[in-house]
Amino acid sequence: MAEFTMELNDDQKQVRDWIHGFAADVMRPAAAEWDEREETPWPVIQEAAKVGIYSLDFYAQQFFDPTGLGIPMAMEELFWGDAGIALSIVGTGLAAIGVVANGTEEQIGTWIPQMYGTPDDVKVAAFCSSEPDAGSDVGSMRTRAVYDQAKDEWVLNGTKTWATNGGIANVHIVVAVVDPELGTKGHASFIVPPNTPGLSQGQKFKKHGIRASHTAEVVLEDVRIPGSCLLGGKEKLDERLARAHERARSGGGERVKNAAMATFEASRPAVGAMAVGTARAAYEVALDYAKTRTQFGRPIIDNQGVAFQLADMRTQIDAARLLVWRASWMAVAGRPFESAEGSMSKLFASEVAKKVTAQAVQILGGNGFTREYPVERMHRDSAIYTIFEGTSEIQRLVIARTISGMPIR
Ligand SMILES: Cc1cc2nc3c(=O)[nH]c(=O)nc-3n(C[C@H](O)[C@H](O)[C@H](O)COP(=O)(O)OP(=O)(O)OC[C@H]3O[C@@H](n4cnc5c(N)ncnc54)[C@H](O)[C@@H]3O)c2cc1C
């Protein structure tokens, strides 16, 4: 059995420093510009592709780190660089992981390269699940996928919202209802190939934060895609639906629900790590500022009122990282999330990021309130972490149900 250690090994430190270098040298200098432009930072994504950070291989290598710390470490460094640009870089990964997790070998081989493009011609991908009436309540999803047996095609109709890279993606992964009787178990995921007629971008949102990341509605009007674009294939879907109907008849749906929950518990720490990255970035700026800004003839950090805030900020960031690392390790070690430890890590880290970035603005005084200093942007960016991948209220709901076994509403 491996010796217990809380230190990264040499390989991990090397990867962390490499990503940190990219975040510091390429992302940081570009952050304010792309935030103001509110556009996808294509040149930065291209740079990331050239050095190997924008590729499926990069995620696969981090994902297969046996300690589980590869992904959280990468996310923390990228989001330390800049949250908006980082989301533009990792957004494709979220869609790609859906294909890798549920697709056939052929689907992975065909579509992943088209999601990323090449360093000379980069592309992005989008994962489209949320809808205007189905955010936290995924069971209210209305987008329908109907199979046209004569043509071996699926026909998609509906409106998706909040899709990162929605409408500008080369490949869209769309979740749709195939069997309304089964609720969330009647959902399936589809690959919508580039330039498919009927898919269009709706409203592009003007956002509070992470403005370099493109977020938009995706409208699907009689979108016809080949049968081969159903993730995992028709045979597997039919078997899964038959099993779900059987379980519904016998009242045994709990096992499927638990499997879905386990997937979320494993993916949520990655969002926690993003939040740790933004919080750490703001804390570092505030610490530096507090040591150099002089008022009343001494650095402002000489006041306990300021120093204690920094002490609390640092303590909470470290606590958040430990929760994230614990949950990430549990996921690879196959440990059961008996207290919803994945949700805990996302809840705590995202709340810490909001709090710490607000404190950083306060420590910088008037300067913190201007766009001349990055903490203003980091504070706006941090607000996303308590919203996407399950809001803080939904995390609390999951934790409360898990620890109590009660159907808390
Ligand atoms: C910038 C951005 C990027 C995103 N990217 C994607 C993406 O790429 N793909 C995708 O599919 N989705 C994406 N999302 C959608 C995101 O996951 C949803 O916004 C989120 O799940 C919340 O859904 P909602 O906005 O409909 O809020 P609602 O579900 O309407 O919630 C509104 C409020 O009510 C609270 N609430 C709801 N139900 C309960 C309850 N039972 N108990 C207590 N409180 C409750 C919520 O916590 C929240 O405070 C993105 C969102 C944003 C803002």
Q: How many CA atoms lie within 13 A of 174 on its CB side?
A: 40
pLDDT exceeds 90 at position 272: yes
Task: Please name the amino acid found at residue 294.
Answer: T
CA–centroid distance, 160 to ligand 1, in Å, is 13
- Pocket test of ligand 1: the residue of 40, 136, 215 to mutate, having most ligand atoms within 8 Å of its CB, is 136
Please tell me the predicted confidence (pLDDT) of residue 261.
77
Rounded to an integer, what distance in angstroms lies between the CA atom of residue 111 and that of residue 127?
A: 13
pLDDT digits (tens, 9 = 90+) for 360-391: 999 999 999 999 999 999 999 999 999 999 99
The DSSP call for residue 205 is P
Nearest ligand 1 atom to the CA of 207 is: 1
Q: Whose C-alpha lies nearest to ligand 1, atom 30?
A: 135
Q: Check if the beta carbon of residue 171 is closer than 8 Å to that of residue 194.
A: yes
CB 395 within 8 A of CB 347: yes
Give mean pLDDT, residues 384-406.
Answer: 97
Instruction: Return phi, psi of residue 408, to 5°.
Output: -65, 135
Helix, strand, or coil here: 55?
coil
| 139 φ, ψ (degrees, to nearest 5) | -65, -15
Q: Please state the CATH superfamily assignment of the domain spanning residues 10-122 in this structure.
A: Acyl-CoA dehydrogenase/oxidase, N-terminal domain (1.10.540.10)
DSSP secondary structure string for all residues of 286-303: HHHHHHH-EETTEEGGGS
What is residue 257's predicted lDDT score, i.e. its pLDDT?
Answer: 64
Q: What is the pLDDT of residue 258?
A: 63
| Contact of 111 with 311, CB cutoff 8 Å | no
Angle ∠(140,388,47) on CA atoms, nearest 5:
130
pLDDT tens, position by position, 55-86: 989 999 999 999 999 999 999 999 999 999 99
Atom 38, ligand 1: which residue's CA is nearest? 136
393 CA to centre of ligand 1 in angstroms: 10
**Among the CATH numbers 1.20.140.10, 2.40.50.1070, 3.40.50.1110, 3.40.50.620, which is that of 256-404?**
1.20.140.10
**What residues flank ligand 1, with Cβ below 6 Å?**
127-130, 135-136, 162-164, 207, 210, 215, 384, 387-388, 391, 393-394, 397
The rounded radius of gyration (Å) of the Cα atoms in the chain is: 22
Q: For residues 134 and 138, what is the distance between their CA atoms, to the nearest angstrom?
A: 5
pLDDT of 329 higher than 70: yes
Does the structure show a pLDDT above 90 at 260?
no
Q: What does the DSSP assignment read for 278-342?
A: HHHHHHHHHHHHHHH-EETTEEGGGSHHHHHHHHHHHHHHHHHHHHHHHHHHHHHHT---TT-HH
The confidence score (pLDDT) of residue 253 equals 59
Helix 42-51 with 10-22: angle, nearest 10 deg: 150
- The reported pLDDT for the residue numbered 1 is 55
What is the 109 CA–ligand 1 centroid distance (Å)? Answer: 32
The residues annotated as belonging to the active site are 389
What's the pLDDT at 332?
93
Distances (CA, A) of 101 to 28, 117, 261: 32, 20, 15
pLDDT at 256 over 60: no
3-state secondary structure of 370: coil
Start-to-end C-alpha separation, the chain? 42
In degrees, rounded to 5, the angle at the alpha carbon of residue 335 between the alpha carbons of residues 5 and 64 is 65
98 band by pLDDT with thresholds 50, 70 and 90: confident
254: pLDDT strictly greater than 70: no
Least confident of 145-154, 256-265, 345-354: 256-265
The pTM (predicted TM-score) of the whole model is 0.97
Which atom number of ligand 1 is nearest to the Cα of residue 175?
A: 11
Q: Rounded distance, CA 286 to CA 361, Å? A: 8
Tens digits of per-residue pLDDT, 337-364?
Answer: 999 999 999 999 999 999 999 999 999 9
CATH 2.40.110.10 fits 125-250, yes or no: yes
Residue of the nearest CA to atom 14 in ligand 1?
A: 162
Give the ligand 1 atom nearest the CA of 393: 47
User: How many angstroms does the Cα of residue 355 sit away from the middle of ligand 1?
Assistant: 20
What spacing in Å lies between the alpha carbon of 396 and ligand 1's midpoint?
Answer: 14
Which segments within 137-214 are labelled E, that is strand?
Answer: 144-148, 153-164, 171-177, 187-192, 199-204
Query: What is the arithmetic mean of pLDDT over 305-311?
Result: 98
Give me the residue spans of the domains in the chain: 10-122, 125-250, 256-404
Residue nearest ligand 1's atom 44 by CA? 393
pLDDT at res. 236: 96
Q: Cα–chain-centroid distance for residue 90?
A: 8
Percent of the chain residues topping a pLDDT of 90: 89
